[in-house]
Amino acid sequence: MRPASTTTITVTATVAVIFAVVYFGMILGGLPFLQLDRTGVALLGAIALVAIGEMTPEQAALAVHLPTLLLLFSFMVISAQLRLGGFYTWVTQRIAALAVTPPALLAAVIAVVATLAAVFSNDVVCLAVAPVLADGCLRRGLDPVPFLLALACAANIGSAATLIGNPQNMLIGQVLKLPFGGYFLEAIVPVCLGLIALWAILAWQSRGRWYTAQAIEPSALAAHEANYPRLDRWQTAKGLAVAAALIVAFLATDVPHDVAALTGAGVLLLSRQLHSTAMLGQVDWELLVLFIGLFVVNRALQDTGLAAQAVQWLAQQGVPLSEPAPLFAATLVLSNVVSNVPAVMLLLPAATEPFSGPLLALVSTFAGNLFIVGSIANLIVVDAARRQGIAIGWRRHLRTGLPVTAASLAITAGWFAWRAA
The pLDDT-based confidence of 196 (bands split at 50, 70, 90) is very high
Maximal CA-CA distance, the chain: 79
**Share of residues in the chain with pLDDT > 90 (%):** 44
Which amino acid makes up residue 179? P
Q: Which helix (H) or strand (E) is 59 found in, with range?
A: helix 57-63
Whole-angstrom distance, CA of residue 27 vs CA of residue 388: 29
Looking at the predicted structure, is the pLDDT value of residue 1 above 50? no
242-294 confidence digits (pLDDT tens): 999 999 999 999 899 999 999 999 999 988 888 888 888 888 888 889 889 98
- Average pLDDT of the chain to the nearest whole number: 88
Using the CB atoms, write b or e for 337-365: b if 16+ within 10 Å: ebbbbbbbbbbbebbeeebbbbbbbbbbb
Average pLDDT over residues 340-344: 85
Confidence of residue 2 (pLDDT cuts 50, 70, 90): very low
pLDDT interval class at 111 (50, 70, 90)? very high
Residue 218 above 80 pLDDT? no
What pLDDT is attached to residue 214? 65
pTM of the model: 0.86
Which residue range(s) make up the domain with 26?
3-420
Split into its structural domains, the chain has a count of 1
- Give me the sign of the Cα torsion angle 120, 258, 243, 267: positive
Q: For 301-333, what is each residue's pLDDT tens digit?
A: 888 888 778 878 877 888 888 888 899 998 998
Mean predicted confidence (pLDDT) in 103-121: 94
